[in-house]
Amino acid sequence: RHYEDNQFEQALALFRVLEPDMDSFDSPQQAKYAYYRGMTDYRLAGLAAQGTTVTDPRKGFRDNARHWLAVAMAISQQTPGGLTDDQKQRATESLAELNKDFYPGAEASNELPGASKSAGDAGAP
């Protein structure tokens, strides 16, 4: 409820308390947890003041957002029903933006930069 009320700090505190029990959730609940955790960090990254290159709180929020949204999408692909179509779209768009932090200049795609396109290319120099 805190997330829907834009009370992201309170939502994050609650998610951190629940995180150790995440394995007791069924797969759809795990996908929802990971989605809301990731989107909470994503929203907080947008609200955080920019720090120095050594201590930038936005980077930590963005790193966590990327992790949790990727977890949510992976669970959702394995076990459909946890996320709505709108949530999947929002997570996909947010991940594309967050991936630019890790792959600057690379176009958003589902493949990692440098990944081979076919199995026949595996192991080629």
Rounded Cα gap, residues 15 and 10, in angstroms: 9
**Average per-residue pLDDT for the chain:** 80
| Residue 116, amino acid | S
- 50 vs 99 pLDDT, higher one: 99
Reading the block at residue 55, the tokens are 């201590």
The C-alpha angle with vertex 94 and arms to 60 and 16, in degrees rounded to 5, equals: 45
Specify the pTM: 0.74
Q: What share of the chain in percent tops pLDDT 90?
A: 46
Q: How many CA atoms lie within 13 A of 87 on its CB side?
A: 22
